[in-house]
Amino acid sequence: MFINVLLVGIGGFFGAISRYWISGKFNKKGDLKFPYGTLIVNLVGAFLLGLITASSLSASWQVLLGTGFMGAFTTFSTFKLENIQMHLKRQRNVLIAYLAASYIGGIILAFLGMMISVNY
């Protein structure tokens, strides 16, 4: 049990740093025209989580990478906050595009990741 907590913590540490770095590269401060950084981490995260969960990795690697790294790398809370901000700023078209890209793209990429992992 303790080892799993440690693995989640280690994975989460590196996942959070990776998300922070990528989001910082693509999201412009104070400019919410389109949150590319959040979209990128969530879509990449969906794909990688699909790969990880359908792989033959050991349970420890699944906990480290799937629960720890990917749990901290992807961000549902930021995604939802950005949705609310776009709604309040009446950026309806951007909001719809962001929602569609996030949900449809995320499901497709997770499925693609799983199919790739199962077939290799």
DSSP 87-107: HHTT-HHHHHHHHHHHHHHHH
pTM, 2 dp: 0.91
List the structure tokens of 90: 């009446």
DSSP 21-72: HHHHHHSPTT--S--HHHHHHHHHHHHHHHHHHHS---HHHIIIIIIIIHHH
pLDDT of 30 > 70? The answer is no
Residue 94 · residue 82 · CB < 8 Å = no
Calculate mean pLDDT across residues 76-97: 95
Mean per-residue pLDDT of the chain: 94
Residue list, annotated binding site: 71, 74
Q: Count CB-CB contacts under 10 A for residue 32.
A: 17
Residue list, annotated binding site for Na(+): 71, 74
pLDDT of 87 > 80? The answer is yes
- Residue 22: the pLDDT is 93
